[in-house]
Structure formats: structure tokens, C-alpha cells
Amino acid sequence: MVFSSLYFLLSFLPVFLLFYYLSPVKWKNATALLASLYFYAWGAPSFIFVIFTSLIIDYYLVRLTALSEGARRKRLLALTIIVDVAILAVSKYLNFAVENLNLVAALFGSEGIRMARIALPIGISFITFQKVSYVLDCYHGRTRPLDNLFDYALYILLFPQLIAGPIVRFNEVAEQLPAEKRRLSHDVLLEGLLRFLIGLSKKVLLANALGEVVDAAFELPAGELGMVSSWVVIVAYAFQIYFDFSGYSDMAIGLALMMGFRFPENFNFPYISQSITEFWRRWHITLSRWMRDYLYIPLGGNRVSTVRLYVNLSTVFLLSGLWHGAAWNFVIWGGYHGLFLILDRLGLRDALQRLGKVPAMLLTFLIVLIGWVFFRSPSLAHSTAYLGQLFSFQGTDMAVFTNHRFWFTLALGALFSFMGVFEAVESRASRWYENTGQLGQLALKLAGSLILGWLCLAEIYASGFNPFIYFKF
């Protein structure tokens, strides 16, 4: 079930909110958990048993680990991590591993391994990261294990963040899990609704419109796109993936807020970054923090030799690429970003800053664009051919497969992506909003919600194109 589907918007969400707000405090968590199980089962009923069984194993192993000491405690930790990672590895990476082994076998004239393809459980990468963070935080004493299995299940399966994040750490919501600790009011409901509709607008009005053209372009052989066309398409994809993913994060944050939960922010105008280092502080913030705290720092962080530090950075970002997808394109994309993080430490970031704010921002955006070629291309061969077209002078003119709406949406995408640069305008708008008073703010929220809701519903009714990029991760 996707947040931008008519079934979710007109059936699931209003019915859930009605039951959630009418239910007594002691039943709110049960209502949320049942709704979350139904939400997941709607799109992936065959995986509910696997996910819930792994939750039960995790819950009791973590509690057993907390009661153990010494080597036994370490063995239990290792067992818990292995169980979680094994589910991810088998479901997401076994097909990839077998394909590569078969390629190697073919080089030596051997017959490859035959096996049925394993379906990928929806949201398994995000679920695994949340489970592992809970396990490690309990092990290191940063939090204490939960006393209630259903509270743990709610933390992992809460439907706003279940499919595509944000990656919510346990300590960020631990105090909010008891229903009596969550504040519900008309103001909170309206604030959450508006945040949800802002995210829905990003997805439906911007990302979808750009995505139709981007998908059509990437279905063509790379050689049929000219240089200008190739650049326009990859810029469009940069805006598409930003509004698609940040839109989903906004919707998740808004939905959680309507339930009384406060989720961490996941994006902060990443395309105004003046270095790749800054980009990763603004893009998919919850993933960056997870990688830093549970992978980079345990590997030694900044407290190691220069060579080891560069190896650690490369390792983290190669794994980050692999986390996004079981394909060499994603591994190369991760390694590409890891390389530029190393170059930043070698002086690239300082050199960009000396050029000035705007040149540094544009050059960083260019670096990110080239990386998106690997991320979006259906194969490694296609990505290399596409990169070649970016610097060629041949191919189809852009007008063949675009329209006026595309160019208008592209312009809006650029405006909203780089809006963070205009701090003075944002500051004035914020002051004006605060000066409208409580009644004025309420009127603005209501008006904004009605307008955005009407526009989104009209677009969803009119268009059948409605995928979410990050659902496959």
C-alpha cells in the first residue's frame, strides 16, 4: 500500500484515524499495531510471518543478552545480528550473488547454479537497520530492553516509516511508545496533516510528472539521447528522486505526528550543499547517521591512521551503495561518493569553498548528477553509455519526448530544490507567519491543506503513474 494511492487516502487513513482517536489511551498502541500489520499485509502478505517471527526472536534474544555476561553475552549479540542480517542477505542479495557466481562459472565453461528468484520483502532494508540499531543500543547500554513484545513490534512495524523510512532509532521514540506520553490535539492533527500533504504534493505534483519523462528516456538505448537531452534528463531525475524520497519522508513524519509521534527529519535541501561531505549531512540524514554510528565509528572513525580512515570511508559507502540495491550500479554509486568524501579530506572541499558559495554549490550538484547516472541506469553498460552521451554531440532532440508541463515542473523542481539558499526570504516568511497569530495560522494551515489535498487528489485521479523509487530498497 502506498501513501499516494486512493485506497490509502480515502479509505485506510480516515478509518484508521477515526478508530485511533476514538479508542481509549490503553488501546491506542494496539490500534496502531493492528493497522500497521494490515498495512504491510496489503502489499506483502507472504512476508508477515517472516517479519513477525524475526521480531519475536530479536525481542527475546536481546532480553537474554541483557541478562548474560562475558563471552556468552557476545555470542548472543552475534547470533541476534546474524539472524537479522541473514534475512536481509538471503532475500535481497542471494540472487545477486548467484548471478555473479554463474558469470564466473561461465568463464570457465562450467554450468551455473539454478535457483528460483527470491522475492524481496517490502522495506526489508529499513526494517533491518532499525532492528540492528535496537540490538546494539541495548547491548551497549544506551537503552534498556523493552518489557513488552508488542511495544517492540510497534516500534519496528509502525506503518508511517515501515516501507521507506526515515530510519528511526529506538532512543528517538522510546519515551513516546507509551500511549499516555503522546500528546494528541486538533493542532497536532492539523500540523501532521499539512506536513503529510506537503509530502504528497512533492510526490504527486512534482516527482511523478518528472518521472514519466525520465522513465521514458531511460527506456531508450543510451545512444539515442543527445548531450543536451542527457543532461536535462539526469537533472530531472535528480529532482524526481529528491521529491519522491523527501516527499515520502514528509508524509511519514506527518502521519506519525497525527499519531503523536515525533520522527527525525530526513532531508535539508541537499542540493544547496557546497561539498559531498555537506551533501551527506543533508541527504537521507537518518541513513548517514546510522552508517556513522553503527559502522564508521566502530571501524575506528577518525581515530585511526589516514590510510585506514580512507579505507573505512570507502567500506562504509560501498556498503551504503549495496544497501540501496543488489547490483553493481549501486556499489559503484556508493564507491563514487566515498571517493569524493576522501577527496574532500584531501583538499577538494577547501578548494571549492575558495571558489565561492554559488560555484561550490553548482560543482557539487554536478558531482551528484554524475553519480545519479549509476543509480538510475538499468545496467552498468547503460550507465557507461549514458555517461558517454553526456559529453557527446549526437542523438535525439529533447522535444521528441517532452511537453510544456515537463519544463514547468522542472523549473518548479529547481526552485524548490534550491530554496534553502534564500535564507532571507525564508526568515521574512517565517516572521510574517508568526505575526498572523493563532487564528491566522490555523486559517493558513486549513487553506493550505484544502488546496494541496484537492490538487493531489485531482492529479491522482487523472494519472495512473504513481511509483515510489525507494520502495524497492
Instruction: Tally the C-alpha atoms within 13 A of residue 215's C-alpha that lie toward its C-beta.
Output: 13
What's the full length of the chain, in residues?
Answer: 473
419 Cα distance to chain centroid: 21
Q: Please say whether the beta carbons of 443 and 268 come within 8 A.
A: no
- Residue by residue, DSSP assigns 310-330 as HHHHHHHHHHHHHHH-SSHHH
SS3 per-residue string spanning 60-71: HHHHHHHCCCHH
Return the bridge partners of 225, or none.
Answer: 396
121 Cα distance to chain centroid: 16
Task: Work out the number of other CB atoms within 10 angstroms of the CB of residue 463.
Answer: 12
Alpha helices in 301-435 (DSSP H): 306-324, 328-343, 349-355, 357-376, 380-390, 404-417, 423-435
446 Cα distance to chain centroid: 28
SS3 per-residue string spanning 443-471: HHHHHHHHHHHHHHHHHHHHCCCCCCHHH
Return the bridge partners of 396, or none.
Answer: 225
Q: What's the first-to-final CA gap in the chain, in angstroms?
A: 15
- Asked whether the bond before 166 is cis by omega within 30 degrees of 0, the reply is yes
Alpha helices in 23-158 (DSSP H): 25-43, 48-66, 70-88, 94-107, 124-139, 149-157
Match 556508493 to its residue by C-alpha cell: 334
Q: Please say whether the beta carbons of 260 and 183 come within 8 A.
A: yes
Residues belonging to the active site = 324
DSSP reduced 3-state for 145: coil
For residue 86 the three cell numbers come to 541473514
Return the bridge partners of 128, or none.
Answer: none
Task: Work out the number of other CB atoms within 10 angstroms of the CB of residue 347.
Answer: 9
Interatomic CA distance for residues 195 and 198, integer angstroms: 5
CA distance readout (Å), 285 to 65, 268, 330, 393, 450: 30, 8, 18, 38, 30
> Exposure of 95 by Cβ count < 10 A (0-12 exposed, 13-18 middle, 19+ buried)?
middle
